[in-house]
Structure 1
Amino acid sequence: MTGESRWQPSLAQLRALVWVVDLGSFSAAAAELGVTQSGLSHAVAALEAGLGTSLLSRTRRGVSPTSAGERVTLRAREILALVETLPAQVAGEEEVRGTVRVACFRSVATHLLPAVLQHLAAEHPLVRVEVDDGCLEREDVERAVLSGQADLGIAHLPVSGRLQVWPLASDPYVLVVPEALDLPPQPSWEELSAVPYIALHCSGARGVTEACARNGFRHQAAMQLREDSSILGLVGRGAGFSILPRLAVEPLPAGVALRPLPVEQRRPLGAVLMPGVGRRPAVRALRRVLSSGATFDSLIRRGLLGVEEPA
């Protein structure tokens, strides 16, 4: 072979970039990787020099990727994930191993994932799952998956057309009311007219209230909160009522009662991931467990979930 050899990044350089982007700090990334900060800085600088572009923006508030850095980080995650699957490819499908990062809502992590992880551990004990349950909006799940910070998300559908989607199940939205209120089993909007409305501040809840408004709901929010646990605390004290997904109120706190909405609304949930990511053995194993109807049987029997049929 003649001619100059073409420059290629090393795995250490790609790993350094991903960790710095994820933690927003060279010092924190160096500590996690067990290397010196100067060594980590040198690895990123060498990567930037080889690519001929700046990948990171450094400010007093931390480190964030440039637009080029976002693109390179996404590809770096894919490369590192593929390298991680090599032992499984050599050992065979029965020895699937690797790490799958999942982004989801707290209610999903609390009620759906325990059964999923139990089934996965029984079938593939070498697959490790890291869960980020801090997503408050469906857009938070989308961003985590689109940026490569998560391999798979469990999101409120619909989501970005760039993502592959596997519908899983749905949970009903319910009226969350003070237990002390004397309300019929299925109250009308008029029967709630004197009770303050406490809104969940997220895009999914806004969509539900808009649908309810088309069917006679006229309340203006007395307050808006981002955490369903905060809303439940206020409702339990008699401060008002709210509309929340059924999973988000389980287990039901003291002083809180549930009633069906005058017009049915549901939160469809689906597994979402970037095209190609689902081919990784560990991700494929997790998706198979998620798609198994038996995984959510107990929640369906208790009325917390319904089966969400594919579109």
Structure 2
Amino acid sequence: MRSAATLIQLRAFVAAAATGSFGQAAIVLGLSPSSVSESVKALEHLHGQPLFRRSPRGITLTPAGEQGLYYAQLVVQHSEDFALAVDERRALEGSLTVATFRSLGVHLLPPVLALLRRRHPRLQVRIIDGTLGAGGEQLVQDGQADVAFLELGAPTSLFTLPVVQDDYVAVRVRAEEGQPLSVATLRAQPLLVFPAEHACNAGLHRHLHSFLLPGTVVQEIADDEVMLSMVEHRLGLAVMPRLAVLPLRESLTMSPLPVALSRTLGVAMKPGRPGLPHLRAFVEALRAYQTTPAFADLQALVGAHAPEHETQALR
């Protein structure tokens, strides 16, 4: 009967894949580089094929390594989750990694974290950019984030909790406030939008291209402050989520899109993990915030409320 891979071997493999170096993996794991290298070699010997290509530049996964990485990550995470589940104090004095993007990071995340800190002051929260790579969903899937704020709607295997709906608006200079906003208006000038390469913006680009004519100028701008400054200088009309615009500059005004679009914002975690003490504490803080006048004010700002069935899911 073939021996099973040990947890130490799988940890070494996962860390080496994440860092691209046995030396860096050793630092992450608190081991010597030779120990990490030997653990990976033992794993390769066990399965009769290399998991990494080795070169003076570092290491890269082989096809076999790429196929096995996801399952090795699951084993390592389940081992860590077991420790957190049976030792609540450790979990609530450890760390929580949250992926978010700017508009939610400014308007929604801070009050939730404030409640979380008051309840669990020893829990350290790390914030990472939720637009990295394929977005917050992938960061959670890869184990780089425990929870992600993201735009919901697309099918996912993650456990999700809707929080609030946010309308998209057109942002113009205030001098144009009385002029009607139509599809023709959108087609007649450059449109400034966030990059389509970021997962949270894909829905907007699909929506715009459903009614824009070929040849309409669409300029992608990564920074919202740059985008709004361009609007102030009459370099185009910005199409943005309302939360990304607020607080609104005095020189600008915003109008509903002639073809309406909204996004449902919420949080996502891996199935089975919301019951872990630190993630349960986060969800409880989020739910507590949703009962406050401040959250009601936020809903009023975005001009929409979560659908009834989504609100029920949060109770």
Q: TM-score, normalising length from structure 1?
A: 0.80
18, 22, 25: which one pairs with 2:21? 25
246, 268, 271: which one pairs with 1:272? 268
CA distance, structure 2, for counterparts of residue 161 and residue 118 of structure 1 = 29
Cα displacement string for residues 110-131 of structure 1 (whole angstroms, at most 9, x for unaligned residues):
2211111111111122333222
After superposing on structure 2, the runs of 4+ consecutive aligned residues of structure 1 that deviate more than 6 Å are: none
Partner of 1:78: 78
Residues 199/149 of structure 1: CA separation in 2 closer, same or farther (3 Å cut): same
Partner of 1:69: 69
- 1:149 partner SS: coil
Partner of 2:246: 250
CA RMSD, Structure 1 to Structure 2 (Å):
3.3
> Alpha-carbon deviation of 1:308?
1.8
285, 289, 293: which one pairs with 1:289? 285
- 1:66 partner SS: helix
167, 171, 175: which one pairs with 2:170? 175
Partner of 1:262: 258
> Alpha-carbon deviation of 1:33?
4.0
- 2:291 partner SS: helix
> Alpha-carbon deviation of 1:208?
3.4
> Alpha-carbon deviation of 1:7?
4.3
Cα displacement string for residues 219-251 of structure 1 (whole angstroms, at most 9, x for unaligned residues):
723422344344234223321112111222234
Residues 239/162 of structure 1: CA separation in 2 closer, same or farther (3 Å cut): same
Within 5 Å, which residues of 2 pair with 1:52-67?
Answer: 54-58=50-54, 60=57, 63-64=60-61, 65-67=65-67
Residues 206/301 of structure 1: CA separation in 2 closer, same or farther (3 Å cut): closer
Partner of 1:140: 135
CA distance, structure 2, for counterparts of residue 305 and residue 53 of structure 1 = 57
Partner amino acid, structure 1, of 2:298: I
Within 5 Å, which residues of 2 pair with 1:1-311?
Answer: 7=4, 9-10=6-7, 12-50=8-46, 54-58=50-54, 60=57, 63-64=60-61, 65-88=65-88, 96-135=92-131, 139-179=134-174, 181-184=175-178, 187-202=181-196, 204-208=200-204, 210-211=206-207, 217-218=212-213, 220-252=216-248, 255-292=251-288, 293-294=290-291, 297=295, 299-300=297-298, 303-304=301-302, 306-309=304-307, 310-311=309-310
8 Å CA contact 1:164, 1:274 repeated in 2: yes
Identity %: 28
Residues 306/52 of structure 1: CA separation in 2 closer, same or farther (3 Å cut): farther
CA distance, structure 2, for counterparts of residue 15 and residue 253 of structure 1 = 50
CA distance, structure 2, for counterparts of residue 128 and residue 260 of structure 1 = 39
- 2:181 partner SS: coil
CA distance, structure 2, for counterparts of residue 16 and residue 121 of structure 1 = 33
> Please, which moves more after superposition, 259-268 or 23-32?
23-32
> Please, which moves more after superposition, 18-27 or 101-110?
18-27
Residues 7/285 of structure 1: CA separation in 2 closer, same or farther (3 Å cut): same
Residues 250/166 of structure 1: CA separation in 2 closer, same or farther (3 Å cut): same
> Alpha-carbon deviation of 1:31?
3.3
Residues 28/164 of structure 1: CA separation in 2 closer, same or farther (3 Å cut): same
8 Å CA contact 2:14, 2:69 repeated in 1: no
8 Å CA contact 1:198, 1:224 repeated in 2: yes
Partner amino acid, structure 1, of 2:72: V
Cα displacement string for residues 177-206 of structure 1 (whole angstroms, at most 9, x for unaligned residues):
234x42327523334554221232225545
Residues 206/276 of structure 1: CA separation in 2 closer, same or farther (3 Å cut): closer
8 Å CA contact 1:177, 1:257 repeated in 2: yes
Which runs of 5 or more structure 1 residues have no equivalent in the other structure?
A: none
8 Å CA contact 1:174, 1:243 repeated in 2: yes
CA distance, structure 2, for counterparts of residue 250 and residue 22 of structure 1 = 37
- 1:70 partner SS: helix
Partner amino acid, structure 2, of 1:200: F
